[in-house]
C-alpha cells in the first residue's frame, strides 16, 4: 500500500512556506473580496428583503448597446474575484504539493467528489471566477469528478447566497435550492466522471511524489509567472468575448415577462436552457428572480432559473474547454438543464 510518509523526505520550512503562502493569499483575498462584503450584505437582505436591483432590469433593445452595458455592469461586479481566481489558480500549481492534491482529489469516486464540493464552500465564487482555479486543479491532474464538484459547488452551494435567498425569497426556496444543489453537485460530477475518457484519470500519486521531491528546474517567480500567463491566456480572452455575446443575446434570452408567460409551464424548459447558458455575478439570480416574479413569472420557471443561472454558463464552459473533454462539458450542461426543469416542477408543487 502506498504511503506518503514512507517515501517522502523530512520536510522543513523550505517546504512548508509554499502551502502557508497559498493559504495566506487565499484567506486574505477571500476575506477582502467575498467574506467581508457578504457579511455586510446579509444585514441588508435581512432588513430590506432585497440585495439590490436585477442586473437584467435595464430594458435594452439594441443588441450592441445591451452587450456593452451588460459587460460594463458585470465586470465591475466581478473583476476583483476574477483577479483573485487567476492568482489562486496559478499559485495552486506552484505552491501546493501535487501529491497533496492527488491524495485529496486524485482518485475518481464519491469521496473525491465530496471533498471537492466541501473545499468549494469557502470560495463563494461564481462559475466563471471559479473556472481558473478549476483549470489549475486539472493541470495538476485532479480527477474530473472532484474538479467539477469544486466548480459547481462554488456558486450553487454558496452559504452566503443561501442566506440571502432565505431573507429575500423565503426559506422554502433556500431549502429546495440546497437539496437540488446537492443533487446537482454530487450527481452531475459523478456521472460526468463516468463519461470522461480513461486517459483523463490522474497519474498515480507515487509519480507525483517523485516529481514533488525533485529540485525545481527554475525559481518560484519564474514558474509562477509562466503558470499565471498560461492560465490567463487560456481563460480570460474567451471569457470577455463570451460575456459580450451573451450581453447582446439577453435581448432574446430573457423576453419581457407578463402574466401569460408566468402561468405557463411551456416557459420552463426555455428558461432553464437560457439560465444554463447565461452568465451572472454571484447571487445575482436572487434579484433577477425576485423582479421577474413581481412581474408575473410563475414558481416553476423561477425555481428553474434559481438553479441554472448560477450553476454554470457558456463563458465558464468555454474557459474550461481545455481542462475537460467536450463530452464531459456537454454532459454537465444537459444535466444542469434537467436538474433545473425537475427542480422547477418540484417547486411548483411545494412552494
Q: How far is CA 105 from the centre of its chain?
A: 17
**Closest C-alpha to 125, from 145, 150, 91:** 150
In our burial notation (b when 16+ CB lie closer than 10 A, e otherwise), range 109-127 reads eeebbbbbbebbeebbbbb
7 part of a folded domain: no
Q: How many domains does the chain have?
A: 1
223 part of a folded domain: no
218 part of a folded domain: no
**Residue 49, helix vs strand vs coil:** coil
331 grid coordinates = 454532459
For 278, half-sphere exposure in the C-beta direction (CA atoms, 13 angstrom radius) is 32
62 part of a folded domain: yes
What pTM was estimated for this model as a whole? 0.90
343 part of a folded domain: yes
| Rounded distance between C-alpha atoms, residue 178 and residue 160, angstroms | 12
136-158 mean pLDDT: 96
Neighbours of 169 (CB within 10 A): 22
5 part of a folded domain: no
58 part of a folded domain: yes
Q: pLDDT digit string (tens) for 25-73?
A: 999 999 999 999 999 999 999 999 999 999 987 777 788 999 999 999 9
| Rounded distance between C-alpha atoms, residue 261 and residue 184, angstroms | 27
Sequence-distant (≥ 6) Cβ neighbours of residue 187 within 8 angstroms: 335, 339
Q: pLDDT digit string (tens) for 261-290?
A: 666 678 899 999 999 999 999 999 999 999
222 part of a folded domain: no
Domain span including residue 188? 16-210+232-350
Amino acid at each position: 500500500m502506498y504511503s506518503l510518509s514512507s517515501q517522502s523526505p523530512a520536510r522543513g520550512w523550505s517546504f512548508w512556506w509554499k502551502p502557508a503562502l497559498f493559504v495566506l493569499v487565499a484567506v486574505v483575498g477571500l476575506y477582502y473580496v467575498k467574506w467581508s462584503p457578504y457579511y455586510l450584505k446579509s444585514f441588508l437582505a435581512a432588513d430590506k428583503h432585497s440585495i439590490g436591483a436585477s442586473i437584467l432590469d435595464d430594458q435594452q433593445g439594441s443588441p450592441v448597446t445591451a452587450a456593452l452595458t451588460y459587460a460594463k455592469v458585470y465586470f465591475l461586479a466581478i473583476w476583483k474575484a476574477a483577479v483573485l481566481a487567476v492568482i489562486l489558480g496559478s499559485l495552486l500549481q506552484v505552491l501546493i504539493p501535487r501529491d497533496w492534491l492527488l491524495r485529496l482529489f486524485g482518485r475518481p469516486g464519491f469521496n473525491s467528489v465530496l471533498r471537492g464540493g466541501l473545499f468549494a464552500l469557502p470560495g463563494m465564487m461564481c462559475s466563471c471566477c471559479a473556472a481558473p482555479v478549476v483549470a489549475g486543479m486539472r493541470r495538476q491532474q485532479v480527477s474530473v469528478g472532484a474538479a467539477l464538484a469544486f466548480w459547481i459547488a462554488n456558486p450553487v452551494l454558496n452559504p452566503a447566497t443561501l442566506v440571502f435567498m432565505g431573507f429575500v425569497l423565503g426559506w422554502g426556496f433556500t431549502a429546495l435550492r440546497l437539496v437540488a444543489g446537492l443533487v446537482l453537485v454530487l450527481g452531475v460530477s459523478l456521472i460526468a466522471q463516468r463519461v470522461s475518457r480513461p486517459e483523463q484519470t490522474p497519474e498515480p500519486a507515487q509519480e507525483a511524489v517523485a516529481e514533488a521531491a525533485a529540485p525545481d528546474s527554475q525559481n518560484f517567480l519564474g514558474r509562477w509567472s509562466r503558470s499565471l500567463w498560461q492560465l490567463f491566456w487560456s481563460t480570460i480572452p474567451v471569457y470577455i468575448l463570451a460575456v459580450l455575446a451573451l450581453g447582446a443575446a439577453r435581448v432574446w434570452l430573457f423576453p419581457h415577462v407578463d402574466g401569460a408567460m408566468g402561468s405557463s409551464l411551456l416557459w420552463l424548459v426555455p428558461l432553464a436552457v437560457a439560465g444554463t447558458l447565461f452568465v451572472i455575478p454571484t447571487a445575482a439570480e436572487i434579484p433577477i428572480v425576485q423582479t421577474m416574479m413581481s412581474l408575473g413569472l410563475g414558481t416553476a420557471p423561477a425555481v428553474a432559473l434559481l438553479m441554472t443561472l448560477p450553476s454554470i454558463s457558456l463563458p465558464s464552459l468555454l474557459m474550461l474547454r481545455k481542462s475537460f473533454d467536450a463530452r464531459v462539458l456537454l454532459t454537465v450542461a444537459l444535466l444542469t438543464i434537467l436538474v433545473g426543469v425537475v427542480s422547477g416542477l418540484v417547486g411548483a408543487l411545494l412552494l
